[in-house]
Amino acid sequence: MTTHSAPTIVRRSEKPDEMTTQHQLSSGVFNVAFFNDVIQTTVTNDPAMASRWISGVTSLYGRRRMVGLDVEWRPNSPNRPDNPAAILQISVGRLCLIYQLIHSPYFPRHLAQFLSFYGHDFVGVGVKSDLEKLRRDHRMGYTATPVDLRGLAADVYGSTNLKKAGLQELARTVLGTKMEKPKAVTMSRWDNRCLSPEQVRYASVDAFVSFQIGRVLYARAGF
- Decide if 108 contacts 50 (C-beta within 8 A): yes
pLDDT of residue 4: 40
Across the strands, what pairs with 44?
A: 99
- Decide if 41 contacts 98 (C-beta within 8 A): yes
Complete domains list, the chain, with CATH: 8-221 (3.30.420.10)
Tens of pLDDT, residue by residue, the chain (223 residues): 443 444 555 665 433 333 334 455 668 999 999 999 999 999 999 999 999 999 999 888 877 689 999 999 999 988 889 999 999 999 999 999 999 999 999 999 999 999 988 889 999 999 999 999 999 999 988 889 999 999 999 999 999 999 999 999 999 999 999 999 999 999 999 999 999 999 999 999 999 999 999 999 999 999 8
What's the rounded Cα separation, in Å, for the pair 195 and 101?
A: 13
What's the rounded Cα separation, in Å, for the pair 206 and 208?
A: 6
pLDDT of residue 103: 96
pLDDT of residue 15: 38
User: In 53-83, which positions are buried (b, 16+ CB within 10 angstroms) versus exposed (e)?
Assistant: bbeebbeeeeeebbbbbbbbbbeeeeeeeeb
User: Could you tell me whether strands 145-148 and 8-11 are parallel, antiparallel, or unpaired per DSSP bridges?
Assistant: unpaired
pLDDT of residue 8: 58
Please compute, for residue 14, the number of CA atoms within 13 A of its CA located in the half-sphere on the CB side. Answer: 0
